[in-house]
Structure 1
Amino acid sequence: MSVQFRDTITIAAPAAVAGDIMKAVQDWPSWTASMSSVDRTATGPLTVGETIKVKQPKLTPSTWNVTRVDAHGFEWASSSSPGVRNVGGHWAIDNGDGTCTAELTLSFAGPLARVVTLLYSGLIRRYIRMEAEGLRKAAEERAAAG
């Protein structure tokens, strides 16, 4: 059983700008209130295999492992909650007109996925929307600054 949440947003900035902002995970608390802290011990570009600790309001801390990275974003996975495996995707695709579409996804799989998503679906949707809106604002500000 898998449950997926998804949000997309159009951003008035190139995909490379949005992708760079998403991949700088340690900076997320500066542009989205859905993140209290992101502890990344590595420096330089985000790489597959990295382990990152995340604290979010109203949730227990979680550990995420980066599973995929490219110029347009990244994917990471977490099994921090017993009986649930999460996969989060953060991607930006150029629209060909100087804008991009960002897609944020969060899937839940495992024996307790249904229960967790029933209990937390409202919070999950709010946090994904906060991240999308925060990303849009941060990317548009960076693109406008040159």
Structure 2
Amino acid sequence: MSVDFRDTITIGAPATVAGEIMKAVQEWPSWTASVSRVERPGTGPLAVGETVVVEQPKLRPATWTVTKVDAHGFEWASASVPGVRNVGGHWAIDNGDGTCTAELTLSFAGPLARVITLFYSKLIRAYIRMEAEGLRTAAEARAQER
């Protein structure tokens, strides 16, 4: 059984622009208050198999491993909390009119998933919303620069 969180937001920028911003994970603290620090040992494009440590306010650092990546986003997984496996998705879907819809997902699976989400669901929803709003602002600003 899993517990899933999802947020979508329409962005006035192409999906490739939103995808670039999402995949530049080391830059997240500059556009979302939900992430305080990112440690990415790799350089260049985000790649499958790469591990990234993400620190967020009020939470323990989490190590994420990239499992999928393409021009419009990526997915990664973490097992930083014993008894819980997380999968986070960050995707931009092209709307065909120069805009895109970003879809941010976070699922919790494992024997302690229900307990963890019971205590943290309000914070999880707030952080996903912060990320969506910050992404929209960053992507629209970058699209204006081009």
Normalised to the residue count of structure 1, the TM-score between the two structures is 0.99
Distance (whole Å) between structure 2 residues aligned to residue 78 and residue 38 of structure 1: 14
| Pairwise CA RMSD | 0.3
Runs of 4+ in 1 over 6 A off after TM superposition: none
Residue 74 (structure 2) aligns with: 74
Q: How many equivalent residue pairs?
A: 146
Distance (whole Å) between structure 1 residues aligned to residue 23 and residue 123 of structure 2: 23
Counterpart check, 1:85 vs 2:85 = yes
> Counterpart amino acid of 2:33?
A
Residue 65 (structure 2) aligns with: 65
Q: What is the deviation of 1:110?
A: 0.1
Identity value in percent = 80
Secondary structure in 1 aligned to 2:49?
coil
Residue 29 (structure 2) aligns with: 29
> Counterpart amino acid of 1:137?
T
Q: What is the deviation of 1:52?
A: 0.4
List runs of 5+ in structure 1 lacking aligned partners: none
Secondary structure in 1 aligned to 2:52?
strand
Counterpart check, 1:107 vs 2:117 = no
Normalised to the residue count of structure 2, the TM-score between the two structures is 0.99
Structure 2 counterparts to residues 43-58 of structure 1, below 5 A: 43-58=43-58
List runs of 5+ in structure 2 lacking aligned partners: none
Q: What is the deviation of 1:98?
A: 0.6
